[in-house]
Structure 1
Amino acid sequence: MKEAKKAGYSSFRVPLALNYLFQQSHFEKELLKLIEASIQLDSRLILANFNHGLSEKNYSQAIERLYSDWERVLSVVPQNPGNLYFELANEPDLNPDTWYRAVQDLVPRLHKIRKDIPFILGATNFNSLFELSRIQPWSLEGVIYTFHFYEPYLFTHQGTDWTGPQNSTLGIPFPYESSSMPRLDYRAKGTPGEINYRDYEMTGNSVAIQDKIGQIAAWAQINGVQLWCTEYGVTQNADADSRKIYLEEVQKVLSQHQIPGFVWEWEGNFGIKKLTPPFLSN
């Protein structure tokens, strides 16, 4: 964190598998060190829970585990924790009504323990901005709303094996340029990727990015809530020039709407170390 701060980064989002990590005897000590380092460096720190295991089948059990995991985290946090935030559950994939009720029950229970650390809340369908724009904000204090932005998906996830054949087409440029477009990979035929390829002339440009982020920014303004984008990015499978243009464009639009943004990274596949200038979170 210290080296990243020297490089110009001031905000950090750390993905944590809380249920797994609490089985490790040293985790709470290491967690405290991380929090204390962020305080000393005057950095914004988000702790995000990535292995909540929420589903419709195990809903009741998973909710109680989610509560107990955050209860344990709260017991570790020192007084005056600085710019510390908790992302309740990364990319929940429950029925929207189920998730809405769960949050309305869970956050007040955690606030009874401590109310000085804001919780970050997203919508279902993997923190979809479209799902978020459809809900009425929760009647809760001390919360921040989030969305993840990977539009257009055809470009940002090209060649990623975990998303399947739909994103098998490589060489997708940003912005769209007809003369630079590759042929649709045969594996993408008959998948949503074929439709996304067809529509890329309309979605692969700055105007489309401005329109989508503008919609959720308007929702936040109408409802008077604070809004962050806790993930945006593009795979290293895309060419470097396109990646830079895309990341700069998303950052510019987020900044225009005063939405803090965090570039996603995991095991190097979305990394930005080789891209300059650094893409700072707001």
Structure 2
Amino acid sequence: MEKIKTAFIGVGYRGKQLLQLLQTFPVFEVVAVADPGIEGVDISGVTCYNDGDDDYLNMLDRHKPELVFVTSPWQFHVRHAVQCVKRQCHVALEIKGGLYLGEYQPLVELAEQGKCRVYPLENTLFRRDTLAICNMVNAGLFGEIIYMRGGYRHDLRALLLDDAGNIGHRGKTESVWRSKFYQCENGDLYPTHGLAPLCMIAGINRTDYFQSLISFASKPAGLLQRIKDLHGDTSVRITMGDIISTQIKTEKGILISLIHDTTLPRPRSLDFEIQGTKAIWQGDNCRIYVE
């Protein structure tokens, strides 16, 4: 069996999960990983590059992998992916990717010029329920799609805060970098969990495209309340609203609602709903109604 020479940039929480998964498939040969904070991580038989933030470039040049998994913190995704594509490496890009409008464009253009592929790793695309609904929509069971809803509704307070209520101090976890977004940004930080399956189901970016969007944010109170309850500090600055609601309209007139909801008590939810002229599916309640 011909193996795919594979490398990793970033082996934190998500990177370790993917690395362990790949090591169960004989087709992938993981030759190296790069992460400046890799001390103490046991990855037997794999060369580790941890001499500063740019040591991943040495890894790419020396090992010349065919495929690179980019699982670094969000703000580095595009930068790391661009360097991979410049070296003719295919890229598996962990969920988040770009942060700003137009940030992806240089990566897209480079990939097209070099005939490299950039694969976004959005796991919600492969849920059995979303794949089933996608098949039903393609078969015409839902008629014409009118409205869709999805979201990232996941209480992250235990990740963003440590047990004493300090933000960004949950050991060597993504809390260290992820929590900073809650102190300097205000928007939907993680839209793809809810949005990607909706795009797949409705054919967006294939037969339909986004026309306009608008977002609203509630006040920030959830994290502040938890911090106050744990150690009484009321001086911490939080800019991220507890609820971010985004409304999107496509060129064909489909309305999409997205919710980002990560700092209030709640059970985990992707909040899926697909409504057409002939049927409706509500994911959280496992309900489908066909006329």
TM-score if structure 1 supplies the norm length?
A: 0.35
Q: In proportion to residue count, which structure has more helix?
A: 1
Q: In proportion to residue count, which structure has more strand?
A: 2
